[in-house]
């Protein structure tokens, strides 16, 4: 057997040694090499940088890893022979921090994932050091030649760790410095949209990231940068700010176009009729875009000539094309005031002629407030009737006591103020003031009949003839003490009472039920006692009593309104 081995040449071959070989065949995935053994060895083609650089018959050095595999062939490696031969050379020219070039051989899986790179010897490129962001697909790099930085050399283990990321970052830092030195405010540069965020876009200027704020993307209103920009798109931008200390660049896109607010007054003179698109509705009005970057506000007060509150239905829809009139321009604040109502003639300009003082009018109750009612005279013009002008005789606590919304009512025009858009109306003025005749109809001592219309804690109001109200204080309801008015009277009860007080100036009539059946002597005594009461007592002053009673009635009505 020894003799056969010597004859086959294997006696001269030792595992782990570098031996000479001859290329006898070149295939796509393998190179066949004869080293003088009893069989030829097979080397994977990926161990050769370029199969086009080798040829059949060429002498090469290979590492004999094993004398035979299971098929009886020697196990050879061209790459390991080169590494073993080149290790000393690599150590002489390769130091930590130096830049090297190498071809990616394979990927490494597991806990220490990365790439094996041939730089003359094998070096390890961790996955975190392949690029500025760890790549998801390491297969992409296999076969590529990369420039890298040597970050660690272990001589004992003959291990080298390299980083492409550090080299890229250093190169970018240098490029950033060069770009920062070149850029000036006002420069126009080209860049690629790298990322879009709510507040703007980040633009890659070729290694230097700069911010393009949302407000500098367009002269017009945008909700998000994606409305105008796309990631990966190359655009021209304007340099608005350079901070070399912090390495920050701010950009503008709208600055490449003329500011639409230049010469704005010349393009939109006051009083001009314009057309625009509704872009948003807010509680106080709507915004209208007249052109890109130029918006105007139609305040709710400018929707119509009427004073009624603006409702959601009154607002135009977003996207609608509408007409308006320019009211005012504030160029420094970039504000334009618009009006819808100026498109129509102001109905108040003729109000003083159409509704002269003293005119008898008819209108519809449009709305009511605690102290007045609004009467619609025509589209855009309302008149107002206050409580004191609703009745000569009755104490009206709320308009709903004599009218309801939608009713048609008659009234007299009391005053017109076209500038303030006010028309005062009166209902009681439709008839003669009955108090002018009261002195003849009601005298102290008269017996009168009426109906209870209101009950309050202090007494009751009684409706007399001609719609005149009289008041019976609780002390005058019956002989003796009365705890509660309702113990004696109820709403709509008929009463017979005696007039004990008539105040023409204050338009008040005081009544007494308990004195209704007094004879003349007892009535005289009761009246004298009533008139002589001192200021601090319960019935000190009829005017005070009546006033308090009316205030109580008004408060009671307000609670139930």
- Say whether both 74 and 105 belong to one domain: no
- Say whether both 475 and 551 belong to one domain: yes
Mean pLDDT of the region 98-105: 89
**Residue 295 has which token pair?**
């918006």
The phi, psi pair for 337, rounded to 5°, reads -95, 130
Instruction: Choose the final residue of a domain: 305, 320, 343.
Output: 343
Quick one: pLDDT at residue 536? 35
> Quick check: is 176 in a domain?
no
Quick one: pLDDT at residue 552? 56
Work out the mean pLDDT of the chain and round it to a whole number: 84
- Say whether both 18 and 111 belong to one domain: no
Tell whether the model's pLDDT for residue 124 goes beyond 90.
yes
User: How many structural domains are present in the chain?
Assistant: 6
- Say whether both 339 and 351 belong to one domain: no
Q: Provide the pLDDT confidence category of residue 509 given band limits of 50, 70 and 90.
A: confident
> Quick check: is 89 in a domain?
no
d(CA 330, CA 93): 72
Q: Domain containing 470 — which CATH number?
A: 2.40.50.140
> Quick check: is 175 in a domain?
no
Tell whether the model's pLDDT for residue 169 goes beyond 60.
yes
Q: Provide the pLDDT confidence category of residue 312 given band limits of 50, 70 and 90.
A: low
Quick one: pLDDT at residue 558? 47
- Say whether both 451 and 377 belong to one domain: no
> Quick check: is 173 in a domain?
no
Least confident range from 231-245, 313-327, 386-400, 426-440: namely 426-440
- Say whether both 14 and 129 belong to one domain: no
**Full domain range(s) for residue 139:** 94-168
Tell whether the model's pLDDT for residue 556 goes beyond 60.
no
Interval 172-230: pLDDT, tens:
888 888 888 888 888 888 989 999 999 999 998 877 888 999 989 888 788 899 988 99
- Say whether both 519 and 460 belong to one domain: yes
- Say whether both 458 and 547 belong to one domain: yes
Interval 251-287: pLDDT, tens:
999 888 888 888 888 889 998 999 999 988 888 889 9
Tell whether the model's pLDDT for residue 39 goes beyond 60.
yes
Sequence-ordered list of residues with C-beta below 8 angstroms from that of 143, at least 6 positions apart, any chain: 46, 103, 104
> Quick check: is 551 in a domain?
yes
Evaluate whether 249 touches 205 at the Cβ level (below 8 Å). Answer: yes
- Say whether both 236 and 287 belong to one domain: no
- Say whether both 161 and 233 belong to one domain: no
- Say whether both 418 and 439 belong to one domain: no
**70 vs 395, residue with greater confidence:** 70
**Residue 506 has which token pair?**
């204050």
Q: Which helix (H) or strand (E) holds 122?
A: strand 122-126
Interval 356-411: pLDDT, tens:
999 999 999 999 999 999 999 988 789 999 999 998 877 788 999 999 999 999 99
Quick one: pLDDT at residue 544? 52
Q: Provide the pLDDT confidence category of residue 530 given band limits of 50, 70 and 90.
A: low
> Quick check: is 177 in a domain?
no
- Say whether both 203 and 251 belong to one domain: yes
């Amino acid at each position: 057997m020894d003799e056969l081995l010597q004859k086959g040449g294997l006696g001269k071959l030792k595992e782990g040694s570098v031996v000479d070989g001859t290329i006898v065949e070149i295939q796509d995935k393998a190179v066949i090499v004869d080293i003088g053994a009893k069989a030829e060895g097979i080397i994977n083609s990926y161990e050769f940088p370029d199969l086009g650089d080798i040829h059949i018959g060429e002498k090469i050095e290979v590492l004999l890893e094993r004398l035979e595999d299971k098929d009886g062939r020697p196990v050879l490696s061209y790459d390991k022979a080169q590494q073993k031969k080149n290790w000393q050379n690599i150590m002489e020219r390769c130091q930590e921090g130096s830049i090297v070039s190498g071809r990616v051989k394979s990927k490494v899986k597991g806990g220490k994932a990365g790439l094996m790179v041939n730089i003359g010897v094998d070096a390890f490129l961790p996955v975190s050091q392949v690029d500025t962001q760890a790549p998801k697909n390491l297969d992409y790099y296999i076969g590529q030649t990369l420039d890298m930085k040597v970050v660690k050399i272990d001589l004992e283990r003959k291990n080298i760790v390299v980083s492409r990321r550090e080299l890229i970052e250093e190169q970018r830092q240098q490029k950033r410095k060069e770009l920062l030195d070149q850029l000036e405010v006002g420069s126009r540069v080209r860049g690629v949209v790298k990322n879009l965020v709510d507040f703007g876009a980040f633009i890659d200027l070729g290694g230097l990231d700069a911010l393009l704020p949302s407000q500098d993307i367009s002269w017009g209103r945008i909700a998000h940068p994606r409305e105008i920009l796309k990631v990966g798109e190359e655009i021209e931008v304007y340099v608005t700010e350079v901070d070399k200390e912090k390495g920050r660049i701010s950009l503008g896109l709208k600055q490449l176009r003329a500011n639409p607010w230049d010469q704005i007054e010349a393009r939109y003179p006051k009083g001009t009729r314009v057309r625009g698109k509704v872009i948003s509705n807010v509680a106080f009005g709507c915004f209208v875009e007249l052109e890109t970057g130029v918006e105007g506000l139609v305040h709710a007060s400018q929707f119509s000539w009427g004073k009624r509150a603006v409702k959601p239905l009154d607002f135009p829809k977003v996207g609608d094309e509408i007409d308006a009139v320019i009211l005012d321009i504030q160029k420094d604040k970039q504000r334009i005031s618009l009006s819808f109502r100026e498109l129509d003639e102001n109905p108040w300009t003729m109000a003083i002629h159409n509704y002269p003082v003293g005119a008898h009018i008819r209108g519809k109750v449009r709305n009511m407030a605690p102290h007045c009612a609004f009467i619609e005279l025509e589209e855009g013009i309302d008149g107002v009737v206050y409580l004191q002008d609703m009745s000569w005789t009755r104490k009206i606590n709320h308009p709903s006591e004599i009218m309801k919304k939608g009713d048609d009512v008659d009234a007299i025009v009391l005053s017109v103020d076209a500038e303030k858009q006010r028309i005062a109306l009166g209902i009681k003025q439709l008839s003669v003031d009955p108090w002018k005749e009261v002195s003849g109809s009601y005298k102290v001592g008269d017996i009168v009949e009426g109906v209870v219309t209101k009950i309050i804690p202090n007494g009751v109001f009684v409706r007399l003839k001609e719609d005149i109200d009289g008041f019976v204080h609780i002390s005058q309801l019956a002989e003796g003490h009365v705890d509660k008015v309702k113990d004696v009277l109820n709403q709509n009860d008929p009463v017979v009472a005696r007039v004990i007080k008539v105040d023409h100036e204050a338009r008040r009539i005081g009544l007494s039920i308990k004195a209704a059946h007094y004879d003349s002597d007892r009535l005289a005594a009761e009246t004298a006692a009533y008139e002589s009461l001192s200021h601090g007592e319960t019935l000190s002053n009829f005017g005070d009593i009546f006033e308090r009673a009316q205030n109580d009635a008004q408060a009671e009505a307000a609670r139930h309104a």
